[in-house]
């Protein structure tokens, strides 16, 4: 099941699910809170996770995806680079 029926097209042609789970400050009080939220959201049908290097929860996002049982290839992850690291990988 997917909650994301609408998509937005990026200038580079990616289809981005319109609805996503934001992870800003998701692990502020409890580091495991973010991974549980990501896991639960994916199990509920979300396929778009919004995060950022500055949020400091990349490991928790990865753990939540892994624990969800859904393959990484089926999850769209939107991230942001902190202004001090303007390189493309």
Residue 22 to residue 30: CA distance in whole angstroms: 16
Minimal CA–CA distance to 42: which of 73, 14, 15? 73
Counting every residue written for the chain, the total comes to 89
82 is known as an active-site residue: no
The stretches of 1-89 forming alpha helices (DSSP H) are: 31-44, 58-68
Residue tagged active-site, from 55, 60, 63, 65: 55
Query: Catalytic amino acids?
Result: 55
């Amino acid at each position: 099941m997917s909650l994301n029926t609408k998509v937005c097209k990026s200038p580079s042609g990616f289809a981005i699910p319109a609805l996503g789970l934001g992870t800003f400050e998701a692990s502020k009080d409890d580091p495991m809170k973010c991974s549980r939220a990501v896991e639960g959201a994916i199990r509920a049908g979300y396929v778009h996770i919004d995060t950022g290097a500055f949020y400091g929860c990349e490991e928790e996002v990865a753990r939540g995806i892994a624990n969800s049982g859904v393959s990484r290839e089926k999850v769209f992850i939107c991230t942001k680079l902190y202004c001090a690291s303007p390189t493309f990988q």
